[in-house]
Amino acid sequence: MLLQVQNLRVSYDGIRALHGVDFNIDAGEIVTIIGANGAGKSTTLRAISHLVQVEPGSRITMEGRDLLKLPADQVVSRLGISHVPEGRRLFGNLTVLENLQLATFARHDSAAVKKDLKRVFATFERLAERKDQKAGTLSGGEQQMLAVGRALMSGRRLMLLDEPSMGLSPLLMSRVFESLKEINREGTTILLVEQNARMALKFAQRGYLLENGEIVRHGPTERLLNDPEVKKAYLGG
């Protein structure tokens, strides 16, 4: 087991957003968490990256190591967990190349960094063409590529993806998902959070359904795709 989340509870200003969420991910898998707006999907990812405080009793381990005891930057630099946050959150004042370089801040394996950079540019050729351009001037699709590329530079073990399809045209969306598949084949485990349930379930191998801060269903994605309840509520009947 790569990542194990047990009894994850998070509150915002006294209002509980997650009521004891449990799930786990094996190495090499693509797992998705689907659910409606406000179900707690992003909060789950944020808890893993320490962007929100968890309540006592929550447990998150990466290969048996207590993730919650590490400072936020070491979740990335030591455990190799990267996070493509909601809304991409690129550094618009830095160039494309600088955004990618910053993601390697804590890495000292300069040969491997060079190789990874090459690979990112091979996957997303547009980024190579625009590497000296400020990230703020990129189009939406290019920004999403850069957000994924940046995550690839910071950690290659587990990638947390928050709504990567947001704001992309169907064509660009399938390009981004194609490259994610490729990244997965190369050994990066993926945890995908999506509102677009159909797409997410087709892309992933296993899925969890989150409703009001609780996991209400989980299993292989084929089963969820055919589940009448899921169909009715999330796949448009």
Partner 1 sequence: MTYFLQNLVNALQWGSFYALIALGYSMVYSILMLFNFAHGDIFMVGAYIGFGVASALVAFNSLGLVVLPGWLLLVLTILVSMLLTSFVGMLVERIGYRPLRDAPRASAAITGLMIGIILETGNLALLGAQRVRLPTMIQSVTYDLGGVFITNKKIMIVLVSLGLMLTLHQFVRRTKWGMAMRAMAYDYAVVPLMGVPLNKIAAMTFAIGSALAAAAGILYGVAYPVLDPYMGIVFGWKAFVAAILGGRGSIMGACLAGFLLGFIEIFVTMVFPSTLRDLIAYGIIMLILVFRPHGFFGEAYSARLRL
Q: 87 or 219: whose CB is closer to partner 1? A: 87
Structure-token pair, residue 199: 């797409």
Query: Is there binding between residue 106 and partner 1 (CB under 8 A)?
Result: yes
CA distances from 18 to 2, 88, 140 (A): 22, 23, 31
Query: Is there binding between residue 112 and partner 1 (CB under 8 A)?
Result: no
Binding segment for partner 1 among 16-24, 60-68, 147-155, 186-194 (CB under 8 A)? 147-155
Burial label for 7, CB within 10 Å (0-12, 13-18, 19+), is: middle
In a 13 Å sphere around the CA of 77, the CA atoms on its Cβ side amount to: 13
The CB-of-50 to partner 1 minimum distance in angstroms stands at 7
Query: Is there binding between residue 159 and partner 1 (CB under 8 A)?
Result: no
CB-CB contact of 65 with 79 (8 Å):
yes
Encoded one letter per residue, x for contact with partner 1 by CB under 8 A and - for no contact, window 21-50 reads: -------------------------x--xx
Query: Is there binding between residue 93 and partner 1 (CB under 8 A)?
Result: yes
Packing angle between helix 140-154 and helix 110-123, nearest 10 degrees?
150
Q: What residues line the site for partner 1 (CB under 8 A)? A: 46, 49-52, 71-77, 82-83, 85, 87, 89, 91-94, 98, 101-107, 150, 154-155
